Amino acid sequence: MTTLNHLINGARVDGEGRTQDLYNPSTGEVSGQVSLASQATVESAIEAAHNAFPAWRNTPPAKRARVMFRFKQLLEENAEKIAHLIGQEHGKISHDAAGELQRGIENVEYACGVPELLKGEYSKNTGPGIDSWSEFQPLGVVAGITPFNFPAMVPLWMYPMAIACGNTFVLKPSERDPTSALYIAELALAAGLPPGVLNVVNGDKEAVDTLLNDPRVQAVSFVGSTPIAEYIYSRASANGKRCQALGGAKNHAIVMPDADMDNVVNSLTGAAFGSSGERCMALSVAVAVGDKAADTLIEKMQAQMQSLKVGVFSDAGNDFGPVITKQHQEKVLGYIDSAEQQGATVVVDGRGVSVPGYENGFYVGGTLIDRVTPEMTCYKEEIFGPVLLVVRADSMEQAMQLIDEHEYGNGTCIYTRDGEAARYFSDNIQVGMVGINVPLPVPVSYHSFGGWKRSLFGDLSAYGPDAVRFYTKRKTITQRWPSAGIREGAQFAFPA
């Protein structure tokens, strides 16, 4: 059985003994093992990054950008293999895995423009013979801790820009599906990154805590659940590190009575059940305004969901695959059970689904639950599975109040033909990413990704312009060259 190891200082490094099984969620079978890094292994990766930083920091931005251009080309040339690796360990259908990778490549493209992005500001003659300018310098060693649901894309949110800005990086991918992240990191080395600039350590809490505690790590980026995000932000901040920690979500879509319901149903189906609902931007709650809209939505969703295909990742004809683990499968099924027990109506039931030939896979069918209320467990907590809840509201104001009062504020959208309603919604809703008839308002690479409330801890969002600021620190220089022969006495007043 193959054991996945670590990538430190440009070479594969074996672990010291602790391992964890890797599963193929489509079959339920163990596919290999991953080595779990000890504190000493993580510290060796940090040391490699620390030693590589001085030379990499002084590498001209244009040369760093050329590495990113070559990296982008290698990602595109190996896209099919990467998508297959994602599917094997995550269960994501091939077309979904390809889409994930493409969004990651777009972040590499943005990093290719780093010479322009790092340009500072210059002001001549701010005083007599005095010039001032600012520049953006790298932090040093930075770290990324990434989730299982986007094993390729989320690491690419982080280290291409961090490295392009002159930092060195230690990545700790999810121990549930680390193979694609490790393979992509090797492509980055093949593109020309010097040893030590990018390192990958596989591990669990021991690896995470080592990154959070080591004083050589200057900043930490994280994407995952809210409880872990809050822990990482608190721990990193207490240790004087810059931190951005993206947490969970409960994304609502308001369905107005004037919405094009056929388009709404098509849109919601993909947004709720794509990637088995294991997306932090998945639409998991539809808030229908008025019983007529709700009844029409339920009727059309029920008909649409009859054709949903759940199955093995390698069959591109399937709409979505399994969830990540047996434990997560049981958790998702538990939310469906609790909704039924607490009075909601399970309209389409994904419990008990079986895929012929893959009966031991971790499958949950598409599930539609009506008459959900805010007091129910399924509404309050993030399910992270192929489950769409329908809440009924009497007005747009009541629907917006539901969204504003929820602890999460990651993404939301409104379906309507009314421009006034859409403008009011986008101006006033207390959520970080908003769609107007767009179910998954994930910003493109040259904007930034981040929610509000308990969906993001930290001041700066992920990727885009915020990433440049997160991975650099501003330095302002004021310079004077007095004219020959001029001497001035001491001045004790504050300079003006």
Q: At what angle do helices 61-77 and 79-90 cross, to 10 degrees?
A: 70
Alpha-carbon distance of 322 to 91, in angstroms, equals 6
DSSP 377: H
- Distance CA(56)–CA(234), nearest Å, equals 30
Rounded CA gap, 208 and 146, in Å?
11
Task: Tell me if residue 29 falls in helix, strand or coil.
Answer: strand
The span from the CA of 451 to the CA of 448, in Å, is: 10
**8 A C-beta contact, residue 160 and residue 103:** no
CA distance 200 to 218: 17
Residues counted in the chain: 496
Q: Are strands 387-393 and 283-289 parallel, antiparallel or unpaired?
A: parallel
Sequence-distant (≥ 6) Cβ neighbours of residue 52 within 8 angstroms = 9, 168, 194, 195, 196, 197
Catalytic site residue 280? yes
Q: How far apart are CA 169 and CA 52, in angstroms?
A: 10
Residue 356 CA to residue 292 CA, distance in Å, equals 38
| Residue 256 near residue 293, CB atoms below 8 Å | yes
Chain position carrying tokens 């031991």: 360
Question: How far apart are the C-alpha atoms of 243 and 158, rounded to whole Å?
Answer: 12
**Which listed residue (112, 165, 243, 280) is catalytic?**
280
Q: How many CB atoms lie within 10 A of CB 101?
A: 25
- Beta-strand runs (E) in 380-465: 387-393, 408-409, 411-415, 433-436, 452-453, 456-457
Report the distance separating Cα 436 and Cα 32, nearest Å. 43
Buried b (16+ CB within 10 A) or exposed e, 250-288: bbbbbbbeebebeebbebbbebbbbbbbbbbbbbbbbbb
**Residues labelled as active-site residues:** 280
